[in-house]
Amino acid sequence: MDAFFASVEQRDNPELRGKPVLVGGSPKGRGVVAAASYESRVFGCRSAMPMRTAVRLCPHAEIVRPRFSRYREVSSQVMSIFRDVSPLVEPLSVDEAFIDVSHRVREGAMPAELGQWIRERVTRETELTVSCGVATSKSVAKIASDQDKPDGLTVVAPGTEAAFLAPLSISDLWGVGPKTAERLRGAGIETVGDLSERPLTWLIDRFGSRGEWFWKLARGLDDRDVSVERETKSISSETTFAEDVGSESRLSAVAAEQAGSVAKRLVEQGFRARTVQIKLRLSDFTTFTRQRTLSSPTSDAATIERTALSLLREQLSPVRKFRLIGVGVLGLEQRPVASQLSMFDESGAPAVEPPQSTARRERQRVVDDAVRELNEKFGGDIVHFGADASSPRESP
């Protein structure tokens, strides 16, 4: 998808159309650009750039806070269109996917026509544009999809992969990040073609097993299948503060809200989690995680919040301030349709009065369902669980 978050915002709000739009956090703090519209890119703005820098480059840009629930909703619509082309769809992210159309080609369909059909249908049904790369491998198709944005179609015919890749910048190669690109350029390698001419042993000596991977990709060699089943291993929510925070009440309030968001996504995706984790980054950028495994898997918002807050409190001290906090869950498993009642509650504590505990859990489920329905109806996370009474929230 082309500038997905920004394009959705421009579509949903006609006043933003044709204007430079930056989706992300506030420029007054540590906000980062999540997406930059093409109108803002001509000024040098791009995703992952500090919002403060982007605003300096394009002072008249419209800044929009992200609406991730809305983007997931539109993504589901787009992915459904992809699956009408082929059931073999592997999402890479909310706005990008691989589609294996080999069986359609064997049946006589032309790859370029399939790409054009996808583009036309996505635009017709969503009013958004998508750029397609068509090739015999995942890595070449991915690179091709970036060559003619926005609303582009690039076809790399079988046997021409190496020639297509050769003139491209080394940073275009999949897996070559800024630091690796810097090392390669230091060795005189500027293009993918330059890399393909180096001996395999040279690359392995410098990059180990990754060297062989780069060597193959530079020649267009990639035999990985499109993987339809991509296992979800974790779900998390993070917040970076505009200023370092040491207040227990404020940190607890944010963690509680994050726990509610994580629990909501667990339920939406049909999972329960065995482990709750918090992620913390200190003011000096030291980053660490702490986690706790529950006695039984859960998707209960109150249990996740209670565990996260307990982990958080263990890391607080008068001299510590944090620039980032996150709550996540690990050890995911599909939630069964029905489960046997346990003599322990979901946090592992004994249920001293089973009938009362059962009723409490049922009331909690009713509350969880009501919160989800309100948030789905009105968008975003307008309703969430408060912190424990022992940790009152600060006024906003």
C-alpha span between 104 and 343 (Å, rounded) = 54
- 2-52, pLDDT tens digit by residue? 999 999 999 999 999 999 999 998 888 778 899 999 999 999 999 889 999
Residue 162 has pLDDT above 60, yes or no: yes
What does the pLDDT read at residue 302?
93
The proportion of the chain whose per-residue pLDDT surpasses 90, expressed as a percent, equals 59
Residue identified by tokens 């906003």 is 396
State the pLDDT confidence band at 334, using cuts at 50, 70 and 90. Answer: confident
Q: Which position among 39, 96, 197, 346 bears the catalytic label?
A: 96
Residue 90 has pLDDT above 50, yes or no: yes
**What mean pLDDT comes out for the span 105-112?**
90
Which pairing describes strands 322-334 and 271-282: parallel, antiparallel, or unpaired?
Answer: antiparallel
Q: Which DSSP string corresponds to 194-222?
A: HHHTS-HHHHHHHHTHHHHHHHHHHTT--
State the pLDDT confidence band at 392, using cuts at 50, 70 and 90. Answer: very low
What does the pLDDT read at residue 210?
83
188: alpha, beta or left, given left = phi > 0 and alpha = psi -120 to 50? left
State the pLDDT confidence band at 364, using cuts at 50, 70 and 90. Answer: low
What does the pLDDT read at residue 336?
63
What does the pLDDT read at residue 263?
92
Query: Which helix or strand (DSSP H or E) is residue 143 part of?
Result: helix 138-145
What does the pLDDT read at residue 243?
84
Burial letters for 158-193: b for 16+ Cβ neighbours within 10 Å, e otherwise?
Answer: eeebeebbbebebbbbeebeeebbeebeeeebebbb
What does the pLDDT read at residue 370?
65
- 200-252, pLDDT tens digit by residue? 999 999 888 888 889 999 999 998 888 876 656 788 898 888 788 999 999 99
Residue 84 has pLDDT above 60, yes or no: yes
What does the pLDDT read at residue 227?
82
Contact indicator for 172, 180 with CB cutoff of 8 Å? no
**What mean pLDDT comes out for the span 80-90?**
90
State the pLDDT confidence band at 125, using cuts at 50, 70 and 90. Answer: very high
Residues 6 or more apart from 370 whose CB is under 8 A from it?
A: none
Contact indicator for 24, 8 with CB cutoff of 8 Å? no
State the pLDDT confidence band at 373, using cuts at 50, 70 and 90. Answer: low
Which pairing describes strands 21-24 and 33-36: parallel, antiparallel, or unpaired?
Answer: antiparallel
State the pLDDT confidence band at 369, using cuts at 50, 70 and 90. Answer: low
Nearest CA to 32 among 16, 54, 7?
Answer: 54
Residue 190 among the catalytic residues? no
Q: What is the pTM of this model?
A: 0.62
- 255-314, pLDDT tens digit by residue? 999 999 999 988 888 889 999 999 999 887 788 899 999 988 999 999 999 999 999 999
Rounded mean pLDDT of the chain?
85
C-alpha span between 293 and 274 (Å, rounded) = 6
